[in-house]
């Protein structure tokens, strides 16, 4: 892929950066560009980047950013995984995409139990590397195909989060490339504003190439449970959901309990992991408080990697966990003092019974958070939902295309809940990207948005790191 007289300034610049590795850069003119380089995850949002590059060093990342700036193009990183709205690809045509898949280095300091690793590491690989180097772990989500670079900078919520916080709460230091190409390190003491912004809104501010995280001992005793209701109309599930919400609203609820509700075409499942012994789990009487006959499965686990594999086997992830396809997703955040009233629960399940869905592959997932996530002050990181007790995330998946009926169905779910809770200020989780969400920045970053806009004006005033819902620079 040498330079030619017809090469654009961008191509000339990037070809120079990768002169010794021409296979590390791809352009729209290349055969199979969309399939082999772009690799869109959500095929409902097709886009064409100006180039996709796969650097191997932080210095190359810096040079790529400078090439894009010289051509007045936007930049977005992809940390080897997938993006709900292809925001890792800029969310719009014409961005330069920096694919960090080659950033795979890993080391563990066995004195501090701090791990250092490249931001292209997928969660599945990170889990194994942490465990293989001292039986260590961090809190993170359940989908192994997610890239750590995005996950650890947007939130990172998962079964261990009630004990240890979000994934980003483990981050102690980062190496980051800024909009002017500067390579810098940031932590609480050094470049504190950058560190604040990157822990919750990184796609708007820079490209992280390396993380340093504190780790925890991997759990040894675990109980996996599943409470499955298959029979009856969905409207008959309302009492059980209300009982679940009544359990999780208890501020003294054992933080070792992770739980979620999955509602789908075939029924409702309440499942999760208890990070303790069978006797401790039994003492909670969790299933006995759910108030409906169901198929119950409870088994102990004595291997953390086995537990993580078990998480990835839930019904929703089997459909949306890494296989490209057309889908839409929305979310709402609920606070402890703004729970769904019973009439709202009834209305929701009646809607799920009667609404036209346009697909059989749809899910409504309620995930309990709270606990250690809420211990951290709102203004300590860009992640803005420190007061959230649980989230609802909804998905509709198409076979070849996604219908407007399915999009309207998901929008209707949020509307039914909001209609039952007038005046409530719901937030949305930036990890469940919703490209149709109006004023997404306010929903994603809430009270932290003004500070983020000021930092953006200081370190990326020309909005180099951009997607349709990214933080914009404050106007002077």
Three-state SS string across 8-70, please?
CHHHHHHHHHCCCCHHHEECCCCCCHHHHHHCCCECCCCCCCCEEECCCCHHHHHHHHHHHHH
Q: What are phi and psi of 402, to 5 degrees?
A: -110, 130
Cα distances from 80 to residues 120, 122, 147, 420, 426, in angstroms, run 5, 7, 5, 40, 31
pLDDT at 320: 60
pLDDT at 32: 94
In this predicted structure, which of 161-175, 311-325, 388-402 has the lowest mean pLDDT? 311-325
Tokens of 3: 């330079």
Q: What is the pLDDT of residues 209-237, one digit of tens each?
A: 999 999 999 999 999 999 998 767 788 89
Residues of the chain with CATH 3.30.465.10: 106-218+445-459
Residues of the chain with CATH 3.30.43.10: 9-99
Residue carrying the six token digits 């989780």 = 429
Q: How far apart are CA 34 and CA 312, in angstroms?
A: 27
Q: What is the pLDDT of residues 51-106, one digit of tens each?
A: 999 999 999 999 999 999 999 999 999 987 666 566 555 567 999 999 999 999 99
Q: What is the mean pLDDT of residues 417-443?
A: 92
pLDDT at 322: 62
Q: What are phi and psi of 242, to 5 degrees?
A: -60, -35
pLDDT category at 295 given cuts 50, 70, 90 is confident
Consecutive H or E run containing 235: none
Per the prediction, the chain carries an average pLDDT of 92
CATH fold of 106-218+445-459: 3.30.465
pLDDT category at 4 given cuts 50, 70, 90 is very low
pLDDT category at 258 given cuts 50, 70, 90 is very high
Evaluate whether 314 touches 144 at the Cβ level (below 8 Å).
no
Tokens of 267: 């029924």
Q: What is the mean pLDDT of residues 184-211?
A: 97
Residues of the chain with CATH 3.40.462.20: 222-439
pLDDT at 317: 58
pLDDT at 431: 87
Q: What is the mean pLDDT of residues 175-183?
A: 98
5 pLDDT more than 50: no
CA pseudo-torsion sign 196, 198, 199, 200: positive
Report the share of the chain in percent with pLDDT over 90: 81
In this predicted structure, which of 17-31, 308-322, 436-450 has the lowest mean pLDDT? 308-322
**Domain at 9-99, CATH from 3.30.43.10, 3.40.50.450, 3.30.750.24, 3.30.530.20:** 3.30.43.10
pLDDT category at 318 given cuts 50, 70, 90 is low
136 pLDDT more than 60: yes
363 pLDDT more than 90: yes
Q: How far apart are CA 433 and CA 429, in angstroms?
A: 7
Residue carrying the six token digits 């119950």 = 296
The whole-model pTM stands at 0.94
pLDDT at 229: 87
More confident residue, 454 or 233: 454
pLDDT at 459: 98
33 pLDDT more than 70: yes
Strand order in the sheet with 96-99: 25-26, 51-53, 96-99, 75-78
Tokens of 334: 């609920």
**Domain at 222-439, CATH from 3.30.2310.20, 1.10.150.530, 1.20.210.10, 3.40.462.20:** 3.40.462.20
pLDDT at 319: 56
CA pseudo-torsion sign 363, 370, 426, 147: negative
Q: What are phi and psi of 466, to 5 degrees?
A: -140, 140
């Amino acid at each position: 892929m040498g330079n030619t007289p017809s090469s654009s300034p961008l191509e000339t610049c990037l070809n120079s950066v990768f002169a010794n590795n021409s296979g590390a850069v791809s352009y729209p003119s290349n055969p199979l560009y969309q399939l082999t380089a772009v690799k869109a995850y959500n095929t409902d949002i097709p886009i064409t980047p100006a180039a996709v590059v796969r650097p191997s060093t932080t210095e190359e990342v810096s040079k790529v950013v400078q090439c894009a700036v010289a051509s007045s193009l936007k930049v977005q990183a992809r940390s080897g995984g997938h993006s709900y709205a292809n925001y890792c690809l800029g969310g719009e045509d014409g961005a330069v995409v920096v694919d960090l898949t080659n950033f795979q280095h890993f080391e563990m300091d066995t004195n501090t139990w701090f791990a250092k690793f490249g931001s292209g590491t997928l969660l599945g690989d990170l889990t194994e590397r942490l465990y293989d180097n001292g039986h260590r772990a961090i809190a993170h989500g359940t989908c192994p195909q997610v890239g750590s670079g995005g996950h650890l900078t947007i939130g990172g919520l998962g079964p261990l989060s009630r004990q240890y916080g979000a994934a980003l709460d483990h981050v102690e230091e980062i190496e980051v490339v800024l909009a002017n190409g500067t390579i810098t390190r940031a932590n609480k003491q050094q470049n504190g504003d950058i560190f604040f912004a990157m822990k919750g809104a990184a796609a708007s501010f820079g490209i992280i190439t390396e993380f340093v995280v504190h780790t925890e001992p991997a759990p040894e005793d675990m109980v996996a449970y599943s409470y499955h209701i298959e029979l009856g109309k969905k409207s008959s599930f309302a009492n059980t959901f209300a009982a679940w919400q009544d359990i999780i609203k208890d501020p003294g609820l054992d933080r070792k309990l992770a739980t979620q509700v999955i509602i789908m075409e075939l029924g409702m499942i309440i499942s999760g992991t208890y990070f303790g012994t069978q006797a401790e789990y039994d003492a909670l009487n969790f299933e006995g408080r759910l108030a409906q006959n169901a198929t119950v499965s409870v088994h102990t686990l004595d291997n953390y990697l086995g537990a993580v594999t078990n998480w990835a086997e839930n019904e929703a992830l089997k459909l949306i966990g890494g296989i490209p396809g057309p889908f839409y997703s929305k979310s709402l955040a609920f606070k402890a003092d703004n729970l769904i009233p019973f009439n709202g629960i009834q209305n929701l399940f009646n809607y799920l019974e009667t609404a036209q869905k346009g697909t059989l592959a749809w899910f409504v997932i309620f995930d309990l958070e709270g606990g250690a996530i809420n211990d951290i002050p709102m203004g300590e990181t860009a992640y803005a939902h420190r007061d959230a007790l649980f989230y609802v995330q909804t998905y509709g998946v198409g076979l070849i295309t996604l219908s407007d009926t399915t999009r309207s169905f998901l929008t209707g779910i949020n509307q039914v809940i909001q209609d039952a809770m007038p005046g409530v200020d719901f937030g949305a989780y930036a990890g469940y990207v919703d490209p149709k969400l109006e004023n997404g920045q306010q929903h994603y970053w809430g009270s932290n948005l003004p500070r983020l806009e000021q930092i953006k004006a200081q370190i990326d005033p020309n909005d180099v790191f951009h997607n349709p819902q990214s933080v914009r620079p404050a106007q002077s």
